[in-house]
Structure 1
């Protein structure tokens, strides 16, 4: 069921080219609020027109059954069936070598400026980054919503269990790059640093007016990084075009900590096949060693299971 969301707007977590020391400011905003919006002007090498065209072709192929890696309605979490007949709300594996536009998407994923922000937000050196996921969130074929959740903490967790997990480093950066204006992400700022309140714990899964919630409004070209364990949900309008690139990058410091979050999407089944041969040499070299770390994670982790297999 999709319900109307009533929200408050905030602008405290926006970073632009005029922001003094934008990397530090972005890190402070993410730590404080659990999310930060980066201006399109910070990423001048993104080719939005080309990305829009390629993303539109991918969405069309996915809806018609010509691209098997999809997020299908009404399932919220992996694994998803490969049958698009009930509609889709996402496209998986943009970097898969069988995607005709995988090199274009790779240029945005391995963009030097994006990687600098990822490293700054994680708190690691550029050379410690690890390839993880690059997917796409699209207009659903029917109105659709995700329940309130944290990506790596089940709803059944006690307050003590939440705090124990939230006290550990995140070891990754997760972002949405909007190719069209996007107001689908709803979250509670600051909830990444605390256990749920009684009101949050007692709320209905699709509560339309969670205390303190906001909607993250992105203009085309803006990037929103957010803590994946912030209390959040998605509300998706079938009447509004949506093409939002949804990625994550990790760090070698994570060890196997990120294995389930990443490998449950199936990326380990094909990552070793892509040599990124169409990228320019410096970017290709970086992409190759970041990919090799992902392949190593897959080879060492075995069966990682799923966060919420039946939802």
Structure 2
């Protein structure tokens, strides 16, 4: 039975706060990414890559000088950074990460969720998508990690402080979902965020539809690490699956430290987001290196016309550079503390 909804993924995202797509990547793509991810994770755990998320701190900024003598890591930042090595293997290194971030299948879904009409060609720059963040969530190891206890992150919304009042929460949450008096469609998303695991992953826990409302009294009174909140579900993903989710859905992470985890964690923005996305994106420090990016690892030379995977990448990169310029000299601060 065929759905009459022309945008089923967007409908699910608006209703539930998340949408799962199965088998977005092929087994060959997953194999290539696992090799690149393992190399980078090993380097980062040894203190050889300074852009990491350290155990004991959930939100930026993180202090890489603590690794590895004083802290382990639970994430690796900036998979598109120009200083990330490109493997001699054509399928590995920074090239493998760039190929998946700008993957036509992934960007096709992102366009739908951002309400961007498809371009004339599938691999063509639409002039609207903006490069944002691309990181990796990994199995915590090392100092500060108890191998007998799951590694847990606390309940949060990515861009709303836990101290927000119900009125403040609603001020952030309502606009994307409320309709105008004329009954027109809900307002558009300005970005979309996703997790794409390279190994089976059950780490993400969400409360469906919580992105449309303020916290309930029970949620507000709960311990930040409460193991069971009413309505919560565990998002179960296989390698190559992807879950797109509203970053203001109530969610947390719980890692089984005995299992391998390498989950690509990215976001794509809309050019119209402007100041609304500056803090979320620039707080991670991407403005310090995106101007040096060269996506020659993607091949192709048709940059001016924005064709091919490299042309799409360059167009998205330019719009992120512009976001940085528009906020140059401005302290965008941090979304959350802790």
TM-score in same-fold range (> 0.5): yes
Report SS of the residue matched to 1:67. coil
How far 1:237 moved relative to its partner? 1.9
Hey, what's the Cα distance between the residues in 2 that align with 1:221 and 1:229? 24
Question: Is 2:26–2:240's contact at 8 Å kept on the other side of the alignment?
Answer: no
| Counterpart pick for 1:122 among 90, 114, 125 | 114
Give the C-alpha shift of residue 168 in structure 1.
Answer: 2.8
Q: Name 1:228's counterpart in structure 2.
A: 247
2:234 is the alignment partner of 1:215: yes
| Residue 296 of structure 2 corresponds to residue 304 of structure 1 | no
Go from structure 1 to structure 2 and tell me whether the alpha carbon gap of 1:21 and 1:246 turns closer, same or farther (over 3 Å shift): farther
Q: TM-score, normalised by structure 1?
A: 0.90
Classify 1:62/1:21 alpha carbon distance in 2 versus 1 (closer, same or farther; 3 Å).
farther
Distance 1:103 1:291, change over 3 A: same
1:151 and 2:179 equivalent? no
Residues 200, 95 of structure 1: alpha-carbon distance in 2 compared, 3 angstrom cutoff: same
- For the aligned residue pairs, the C-alpha RMSD in angstroms reads 1.7
C-alpha distance in structure 2 between counterparts of 1:285 and 1:138, whole Å: 30
1:73 equivalent in alignment to 2:55 = yes
The residue that corresponds to 1:38 in the other structure is: 21
SS at match of 2:56: coil
Instruction: Map Cα deviations across residues 152-193 of structure 1 (whole Å, 9 max, x no partner).
Output: 011111111111111233410100011000000011001011
Aligned to 2:33, which of 51, 55, 61? 51
Is 1:133 matched up with 2:125? no
Structure 2 match to 1:64: 46
CA displacement at 1:241 relative to structure 2:
0.4
Q: Tell me how far 1:136 sits from its aligned partner.
A: 0.1
Counterparts of 1:208 and 1:218 in 2: how far apart (Å)? 20
Which SS does the other structure have where 2:140 is aligned? coil
Q: 1:265 to 1:111 in 2, by over 3 A?
A: same
How far residue 303 of structure 1 moved from its aligned partner, in angstroms, is 1.9
Determine the structure 2 residue equivalent to 1:3.
none
The structure that has the greater radius of gyration is 2
Residue in structure 1 matching 2:222, options 191, 203, 206:
203
Structure 1 residues without counterparts, runs of 5 or longer: 1-17
Mean Cα deviation higher: 126-135 or 172-181: 126-135
Residue 26 of structure 1: aligned partner:
9
Taking the aligned partners of 1:262 and 1:92, their CA distance within structure 2 comes to: 12
Number of aligned residue pairs: 292
Q: 1:149 to 1:73 in 2, by over 3 A?
A: same
Distance 1:184 1:23, change over 3 A: farther
What do the CA deviations read for 1:247-267 (whole angstroms, capped 9, x no partner)? 000001111100010011111
Describe how 1:231-270 pairs up with structure 2 within 5 A: 231-270=250-289
Distance across 1 between alignment mates of 2:47 and 2:3 = 47
SS at structure 2 position matched to 1:131: strand
Deviation at 1:112, TM superposition (A): 1.1
CA distance in 1, matches of 2:34, 2:248: 29
Deviation at 1:44, TM superposition (A): 4.6
Distance in 1 of aligned mates of 2:27 and 2:117: 22
